[in-house]
A and B are shown apart, each in its own frame.
Chain A
Amino acid sequence: MTATVAISLSVNGELVEASVLPRLNLADFLREHLKLTGTHLGCEHGVCGACTVRVNGDIVRSCLMLAVQTDNAKVETIEGLSDSGEIADLQSAFRERNALQCGFCTPGMLMAAQDLLQQSPTPDREQIREHLSGNYCRCTGYQAIVDAVETTARARTGRLP
């Protein structure tokens, strides 16, 4: 096997130094090296969205990115977004609306939903459905998720639900 490569990055605001094999993907790095198991693996080929995390402010599929590519980067996972309180309102809307069943898609869904709300604060239902279309949920039927995101968007922009 190839030799390991030293990387240094920020994960959820903490500095991380690691030595990783070049083939290691970011999802496995987060899960296995940092024990941040909130990032889920549903397909490992970039289709399901369960592994969505934020790198330098953009959402990416961590199964398709190599850990070495995150040298000097700022990586944020569901644990980070939860602890900072950034998505507390979104999470609470998910809870109220039962927008998750098994919860396996949920970290990725929340990441993608927060990304949408940052880009367009007043999305309509169609836009929400469109933006979440890269995130599979096999349990919910999606409607509850769309409702929860819509409620959060309205609350954030001060519109009545």
Chain B
Amino acid sequence: MTSEQPNPEMLSALDRPNSYIGKTVPRPNLDRLMQGRGLYVSDVELPRMAHVVFVRSPHAHARIVGIDASPAKQMPGVIAVVSGSELAAVITPWIGVLSHLKGLKSAPQSAIAIDHVCWQGEAVAAVVANSRAQAEDAAELVSVEYQELDAVTDMRAALDPATAVIHASLGDNLAFERNHDAGAVDQAFAESDEVVDAEFIFGRHTGVTLEPRAVVADWNAAEARLTIYQGTQAPHMVQNIAALHLGLKESQVRVVCKDVGGSFGIKVHIYADEMATYALSRLLRRPVKFVADRVESFNTDIHARDHRCKGKIGVKRDGTITAFEIDDLTGIGPYSMYPRTSAIEANQVVNLVGGPYVTRNYRARARVVFQNKNVMCQYRAVGHPIACSVTEGLVDLAAMKIGMDPVEIRRRNLIADNAYPCASPSGLRFEQLSHHAALSKLVQMMDYEALRAEQSTLRARNIYRGIGVASFIEVTNPSAAFYGVGGAKISSQDGVAVRLDAQGSVICQTSITEQGQGSESLTAQIVGSVLGVSMDRVRVILGDTDNTPYGGGTWASRGAGIGGEAALQATKVLRKNILDVAAAILQSTAGELDIVNNAVVTVVDGAPRIELSELARIVYFRPDTLPPGMQPELMATRHFVPREYPFAFTNGVQASWLEVDIDTGFVKLLKHWVVEDCGTIINPQLVDEQIRGGVVQGLGAALFEKCVYDERGQLTNANMADYLVPMSGEMPDIDVGHVVSPTLESELGAKGAGEAGTAGAAAAVTNAINDALKPFGAVITEIPLTPQVILTALRRI
């Protein structure tokens, strides 16, 4: 099934005028964003809307002794100052666990802390006022008396019996542990010619969505309905959770999600302050708006990664990898995040290490511990960069040890392209991957041999450049195996309803959401192609639980693969319904007719027979002229979720070419390449830009981004000036290539591409830096690769 054509002809008649699948077409509706006429949640204003500002704990761990809000309540414009226990009257606490992650535990968490604060930034009171400025002024007058407690910050110390336990009721600070042992690991290591081990350290970082989290909650007491305007990736999940904890029926909650200013997994969760905002609206019977400021974003948006992973690899002199072993430790802050839980990432690391390679021998332990730092949870490419960096770092170390070229060792160990279906050492089932085709394409795109030659010429002139390669697998199109089996009410299926309106235009309602990936575009492309109408006739509605089918939304690279297939199936039904009516009107048969360019045509000669607008006119306004008993249905709905494979695995490979200044420790990225196999490509440009954006997020983690905490649990760089993210001047051009292995789980054949860039970028950069530093015998297995880390490894500081 693997081919190297960029545009696979998956559907029939793709070369017709309205065939958009596989073609680059501009996204509809970009004009409103470019003219500043979008509607982000931070722009939403409602009559009588009040603003909430949260008073947040300055301590990482403390008891709340008392709160004095009376001076604040006297301030101009103040509507209410609400404590955690007052808010508890309208919203119940929650515990972020899932039953399929056996043994995962967490403590009950409240919308606003009651008695006990567990991280710096946890909200202890809410100040609601007529304007944000008034609320901020009053918040300064809320005095909170704390009794500071010892803070658990180092994740290694968290499990030490001498360390304070954050939640007494849990007994210790271990949230979750998973052990995996496959094959004959000890024997494999014993039979290896070389065994290499290293400890990999990953900095805690965060998403920095350019638009901070924002929510407007509007409880209408007369309708007994709560409308939540929120930039979320999963509106139906928000609906479910809000209803559950406010004691409402789901039908009493509507979630509306217009434009979203970046998400990357940051906005797939539900945060305590968002829950508090819903509850405040209910309590105060008026719309309440919360917009995080940037400092709050750093302190409360989920953080990501923060792993220390010991890894070991065995290798034979001929390059055969014999075994992998890892021991991963990760700190998740004081609570497992709700409702997706913070153990998914470590679980994913266990799943993915060694994934691209043939060896069956794999042992893993992952432990997830509580700390008094901000909560940590799923962020773009959950677990992938950790697993990829450890795996690919070990593979490079093994290659170095036996003196083999990094590309060659991969060629000898990557699962063969004709070996599928097969399973990974951790038991993941692969339908069809293309590691070798991808690697060959990458080597050719980058002209590997020429780069190696250039590298050695320059090295003679004391210019230190490195090449790093990283192969990876990527989890996409998740089924219920992700959350549903664990009891979370997060839909894994998505639905699409598509209809022909009275003037021959097409309205399509989908449960996937848009945060800039191009969900609207890919949906319109699929609908237009299948129906035979031009894209400008298709309007896509999404992000509104009142007006879309029930579904999961856009996360874990599922929009195109799951939502796209639902769109395809729904449109096929509509198409059939239209042709049935057309056959009746034209006294023909449906089989003799087709739809092309907004008109029903005769199959044999393509002659136009009736415009869709005319057909719609007859159906809606002159149904009396149709044959008796005929009731045309110009609307169809279909849902989809993959059933046979719990995930559609994709694969890819990245390479980085960079230069290290050995005097300053600065790294200059010169070029980056990616080859990815995401199955059917619906819009090549959108896929490539998704990948580029993902790569740059991965490069940020590799080189710059880190949430720096001190030993008291204070986040010391909670602003954009001190927390560095990639900027245009530092980023290289990124070449993207494709191999196409469509999944047979769906007719469309699309798999996801959203995580690929982030999954492999840090590994490629780290391997390239180690390659550049080879003459100095320095090996670094820590990110971010700051000048300090590099100069330390070079023993220059």
**Which A residues form the contact surface with B (CB < 8 A)?**
1, 21, 23, 31, 35-45, 47-48, 50, 77-79, 82, 91, 94-98, 100-107, 110, 125, 128-130, 132-146
Contacts and interface: CB of A to CB of B under 8 A. Distances in A.
24 contacts: A23-B133, A37-B36, A42-B210, A42-B212, A42-B261, A44-B293, A44-B294, A45-B720, A78-B34, A82-B35, A94-B34, A95-B31, A100-B516, A101-B516, A101-B690, A102-B260, A103-B38, A104-B40, A104-B262, A132-B728, A139-B262, A140-B689, A141-B692, A141-B734
Contacts, number: 175
A82 B34 CA distance: 8
Contacts of A138: 207-210, 262, 264, 693, 697, 725
Interface in B696-738: 696-697, 719-721, 725-731, 733-734
A29 to B, nearest CB: 12
Nearest to B40: A104
Nearest to B691: A141
Contacts of A40: 36, 40, 42, 210-211, 261
Given A133-B727, A138-B210, A102 B30 contact: no
A102 B728 contact: no
Central interface residue in A1, A42, A95, A100, by most chain B CB within 10 Å: A42
A103 B731 contact: no
A91 to B, nearest CB: 5
Nearest to A23: B133
Contacts of A137: 210, 728
Given A104-B261, A141-B692, A129 B36 contact: no
A101 B689 contact: yes
A42 B35 CA distance: 17
B261 A47 contact: no
Contacts of A106: 33-34
B525 interface: no
Given A102-B209, A141-B696, 18 more contacts: A37-B39, A42-B212, A42-B261, A47-B720, A77-B36, A91-B34, A95-B34, A100-B34, A102-B515, A129-B729, A130-B728, A133-B728, A136-B210, A138-B207, A138-B209, A138-B693, A140-B692, A142-B726
B511 to A, nearest CB: 19
B294 A107 contact: no
A97 B688 CA distance: 11
A142 B33 CA distance: 17
Interface string B428-457: 000000000000000000000000000000
A91 B32 CA distance: 11
A139 B726 CA distance: 11
A132 to B, nearest CB: 5
Nearest to A90: B34
A106 B45 CA distance: 22
B36 A143 contact: no
Contacts of A104: 40, 210-211, 259, 261-262
Identify the interface centre among A35, A36, A142: most chain B CB within 10 Å of its CB. A142
B729 A91 contact: no
Given A36-B36, A98-B26, A145 B689 contact: no
A48 B720 contact: yes
B43 A43 contact: no
B734 to A, nearest CB: 6
Contact of B211 (A38, A102, A133, A146): A102
Contact of B731 (A42, A94, A129, A134): A129
Contacts of B207: 138
Given A137-B210, A138-B264, A42 B36 contact: no
A38 B33 CA distance: 8
Contacts of A129: 728-729, 731
Contact of B686 (A91, A94, A96, A98): A98
B599 to A, nearest CB: 28
A128 B727 CA distance: 12
Contacts of A100: 30, 33-34, 516
A46 to B, nearest CB: 8
Contacts of A107: 34, 36
B211 to A, nearest CB: 5
Interface residues of B, number: 59
A84 B759 CA distance: 43
A36 B263 CA distance: 24
| Most interface-central of B36, B38, B262 (chain A CB within 10 A) | B36
A63 to B, nearest CB: 10
Interface string B504-520: 00000000000111100
B695 interface: yes
Contacts of B697: 138
A79 B35 contact: yes
B727 A136 contact: yes
Nearest to B293: A44
Contacts of B720: 42-43, 45, 47-48, 136
Nearest to A125: B733
Nearest to A37: B43
A31 B729 CA distance: 30
Contacts of B137: 1
A51 to B, nearest CB: 11
A45 B294 contact: yes
A142 B38 contact: no
Contacts of A146: 728
B27 interface: yes
B37 interface: yes
A93 B73 CA distance: 52
A39 B211 CA distance: 12
A98 B685 contact: yes
Given A43-B294, A45-B721, A82-B36, A141 B695 contact: yes
B36 A98 contact: no
A48 B210 contact: yes
Contact of B35 (A38, A98, A125): A38
Contacts of B696: 140-142
B114 to A, nearest CB: 30
A139 B209 CA distance: 8
A129 B727 CA distance: 8
A96 B734 contact: no
In this complex, which of B27, B34, B42 has the most chain A Cβ atoms within 10 angstroms of its Cβ? Answer: B34
Contact of A103 (B43, B294, B516, B686): B516
A146 B733 CA distance: 10
B679 to A, nearest CB: 20
Contacts of B517: 101
Nearest to B260: A102
Contacts of B31: 91, 95
A138 B208 CA distance: 7
A94 B721 CA distance: 28
Contact of B693 (A35, A38, A97, A139): A139
Nearest to B721: A47
Interface in B153-170: none
A104 B43 CA distance: 12
Interface string B668-687: 00000000000000000110
Contacts of A21: 133
